[in-house]
Structure 1
Amino acid sequence: MKKVFLFLIFINLEVFAYSVLIINSYHKGYQWSDQVIKGLEDVLIKKDNVDFNILYMDSKRVSSKEYFDSLKKLYKIQLKNRKYDLIIPIDRFAYDFVINNYSELFTKKRVLAVGIEKFSHEKLKKLSLENRVSAILEKRDLKGNVEIIEKNFYKIKKLYIINDKSLNGLHTEPLIFNLIHNYKSRLELIYLKEDDLSSLQVYPFEDHSAALFIRFYKNKNGDLNKNSEISHFVKNAKIPIFVTDSLFMDKGATGGKIVNLYKLGENAGEMALDILNQEKAKIILYKEFEYFFDYQKLNEFLLTIVNLDEPYKMIHKKKTFFDNYRNFIDFVFIISPFFIFLILGLIHNIYKRKILEKDLRKRIEFDATMLNAIDSPIFWQDANGKIVDSNNRFCNLLKLPFDSLYGQKLSDLNKNNNAKQIIEIMNNYNLDKDNNEFTFITSNSIERTYLIKQAKFKEEKIKYEGYVTIFTDITKEREIILEKQKNRQFVIQQSKLAEIGEIFSSIAHQWKTPLIEITAIAQELFYTRRSKNVNEDSSFVKDIMQQVTYMTDTINEFQKFIMPSNAKVDFNIQDAIKSMLEIVNHNLKYNNINIHLNIEEQTNLTVNGYKNEVMQSILNIINNARDALLNNHYKNRNIEISIFNENSDLIIKIKDNAQGIKNIDKIFEPYYTTKKKGHGIGLYMTKVIIEDKMKGKILVENVEGGAMFTIRLVQNR
């Protein structure tokens, strides 16, 4: 039972996420507020997660302080166990009641005031409610109504502005006084504030006058005028009555620029949803006015709209003969010319068909010409694999006329050697593969490279489908790519040869010492030959061979280095770096440069790629570091090489202490060099080798005391 109860609570919370309390200043049936609330309700009802309740204050009938105090006590009891997310007071009485009793009845609740005319920011600040209260203000466009009457109805000379002595009437009075004070035109404006409706009904309105009715809800004794009584006055007035809201539209008013109360309510509903969704408090002025006129009233007072550019609604317009008998007239017009239209339609259809046939022939000829002008062989197959069309290039490829191809499957042409190649290619074609290249041997033994692309077509109307196959000749493009690869290999080798001069110098220094040793041994052997001691001779020979072996190893390593790598192989990066260092070891020692090779334990050192090119890349970095280190004191020249694994990659870091690199962003650019005799392609080719040939990544950065190159090579583990 407890689980069921919790489930029902959950369902209730899910259905009604928000709760809204609407407080109506007036009673139910009071049309002004009813229209506003109807628009508000229609918006909130559409939201399944919003629950709302309505309280009626009946302030038109009773508005004493004692009454409002009693309401306060009643609401305090009613609202004690109810939690609301938003309070919506409708019109002035409800708004003042909510604000004045906020701390006792509505603490921390958000408020949306609807339909009030006078709004005080200062009062909210005093009550610290400026962030809690929003409002949509109703401002009657008195000036707009006066301008409509002035510009359209020239026979009207005098305009009475009718208002009552209610609290709302007092709030509207400043607008009336301001309008009369600033108005300077042909109309005479008179503010009329009678004590009761009966006096107004017998008021001696002059000819050529009209009234702008704002409100007249209470008599001087406080009795509330019924809407039916006000409507009777408006409808039976001897002068045109213009209104400022939709309350008396369709109830005898001649027209006006009005506030549509229902739409005001709709706007308030949308604003309420925004507030529930945590939008900040805001005050907006409702300005969505509408224009309406009563056709019967305009005729009654001989008025005509002559100067209104805005769209307007006309009610009670008398239907014309055409309006009353529209269906009959439409039927006559449809039936009488039916056969004429049918004949004309048939003639037009035949004419259009001839034009379409002519256009279709032109299109077919154009498509055939265009397709035959394309260098790529193209052919069409239906869903069964039969050839339905092709261009001349495809026929030339197979060395067969189109008549021999039409209606045939490729498998039917297997006696043709060229067709056999196409059949084998199509059997291996993969529709989902991006790059489908194949080699085609022509009848004169010329090798061509084609790129194949196949697309499915489908015609829904006639249920026809098939495939279009295009062979694009990319022989020239492949030749250009191969030529670029050869040129790049040449540049790499050229870069390598640029280092040979320095390497030769290093080898020459390396060979000086063993040559001197051999010379000394040979002289000693010559001068001591008389001893004829066999053991001594063997020792001399052993020493000489040791020096010769060292020289041979040196030149062999050099030969291996200068040979270009033609294919990818698996090689040990440690062995490659050590072999490279053996070549330049003497040069580094001669310049008093200390080099340290650090390899992290259990590092996978195997790399698949071009060994000599990788050696050249690292050599370029070492040589650049060597040249930079010559600016350091001879006791402070260090190069550190670190090797380790990171994820599935092999990382090589080469760091020096040569104080860093100026213009570091340009060092990989071709022909950029800071050396007087530099060629500027060493580091450029290093980047090409690592990133293009080895599919790795090389970066350089200035670190504390020098520069560091980081090489990342992908390993297949």
Structure 2
Amino acid sequence: MKKTLFLLLIFTTFLFSDSINKNILIINSYHKGYKWSDDIVKSIEKVFYKHTNLDINVLYMDSKKITSKEYSKNLKNLYKVQLKHRKYDLVITIDRFAYDFILDSYDELFINTKIFTVGIENFSQEKLIEKALENKVWALLEKRDLKANIKLVEKIIPSIKNLYIINDKSINATHTEPLIKELFVDFTGRYNLIYLKEDNLSSLKHRFSKPENNSAVLFIRFYKNSDGTLNKNYEISKFINDSKVPIFITDSVFKYSGVIGGKIVDLEKFGTQSGLMALDILNNKELKKVNVFDDFAYIFDSKKLDEFTIAIAQINDEYELVNKRLTFFDKHRGFINFVFIISPILIFLILGLIHNIYMRVNTQKKLRQRIDFDEVLLNAIESPIFWQDEKGRILDSNMMFCNIINVEKSHIYNKRLDEFSDNRSVKIVQKALLKYKKNSKKHSSFKLKVTSIDEKIYFIKQTTYCDSKTKKTGTVTILTDITKEKKAELERQKNQQFIIQQSKLAEIGEIFSSIAHQWKSPLVEITTIAQESFYSSSTQKSEDESYVKDIMTQVEYMNKTINDFQNFMVPSNKKTIFDVSLAIDELLKIVNHNIKYNYINLEFNYDKNINLNVLGFRNEFMQAILNIINNAKDELIKKDFNDRFIKINILNEGKNLKIQILDNAGGIKKTALKKIFKAYFSTKKEGHGIGLYMAKMIIEDKMNGELQASNANDGALFEIILEYVE
């Protein structure tokens, strides 16, 4: 009895052994996004996902980017913490870095754990024997078939004279070099075999940027430049595709990048075989310790073969063509085969359908189908559409029209628009249509508030129709949403105004430069005359000296004012970082006399410890400030009272810089306050209405700030808010 129970227990354990959960750790030598290792890992995972009892964890070492000993040491410490409470049945290492790391860390991290290394090119038993791990490690080697690829090149390019073998200067490259050296030792070809290890991808691009007759390239890898920088996959793909010399490959990473082709290691197949071997190891099946992947595949790029005029008719092995130009029959082969297979049945079906249609179809059904089709078609159109008869009654519409007037479709049939007297949207549409009938060119569009926050602009298009059977006429109205187009046009007009203003500023600057040049000559003459008068005068020198000094002071002041104004009139070509206080100081020097002689007190206050730097157009910013100050000055001149003032304050609020310009000219009328920033609106009789409009556009559109106006303390308050630069 006991013996029977024991045998039953063994049988049950064997039967359900596959259902026991097993933990697998995959350590990838590289980073996520590195295509070579990503293709292998994805294929391994596909094999594992079929087994619900496997728990898979993937770690990335990122050794392409970081290779220092300090990093390896810290990574080991990190894994100690990360894997402290995890026990794995199998650890799979992808490529050399992960494999070496596992061997060095085995006693600390993975005692008694099975190791399966995937993707390395050379395998040595010495280190395993040294660490007593020869029974714990299995391997699937990826050895590129370089000799077969050289024979392939000789076969399809018989006139070959130079064959370049490209490899980078990375640690991985050193593991491939034994294969390359063996290739050179055994090489007996009639052409030149050249081993090429450039310092960087740029020099490689330059080398093969021009055609080289009877030459080809065998590309092994070029992921890393000699300075350690990592080349991205798309950069390597672009080099391969742009090369003027045909390129052959040894694995499937750059299969679709414009290569001629090659006998390659298909990484998806390689990953699949790796996954199946891993399952065998987990299930303790008899398996060779070291295996070499030999399931190579021939691939060729159809477009590149045509580009370099290379034929592959002499290839006897099976091969895959990528980027193949498909014929009509290739594109529709499935459909054509299907038609041929079922053609007898189709003939009977067609005859039956014709008979059925002849017997069943009638005028009413056709009409119903047409109505349904028209309704679907109408509702698919995004523009609101509705029909009216000669009396203005609505005969039909699409859902879009019902949505914008917020009326159900069933409620609008045979009704006139003026019957919806309580509907604000209908009133707006009706009013717009009446204006359109009077003058279609002038009133071709109107605004309609679709929601509380969404206002749209619609373009009106009307046409008359006539029913050929009933001879009744009517009108079709189409409303096209042109909101985006109008906004784009408004933005274009703003930019055009800014450019025009800059152009005007430049023209004025050129005129003033000419005037300044003419003024400076008389100023020099005045200086010279004053000095000559001083030295030739017979009067007391002390009086003359004071007289000449005053003249020189005034001349110097005039000269400086001219220079300041010249600098101010030059428009800014690009955004720069500038100090707001210095810009305003410079502006005030120019307008100070005008303000002073009109008996206006001007105050400029700011804390020197605040951040005053902003990014923008310095001279246009000064122009915006000047427009606001001039408006305040013009209003103050109209007022006859003492203590007229303009105050300018600068302060920081959070990450913003706030500039306040305040006057005591009585403020802005409420009716004008909402319009002062609109183009061509002015409260002055001779005003152009462009100054504050340009100021707002400069601050908000060109410098991403805010310009606001309000009334405060018996005057107007303008506030400019800009983000300061750290």
Q: TM-score, normalised by structure 2?
A: 0.43
Larger Rg computed on CA atoms: 1
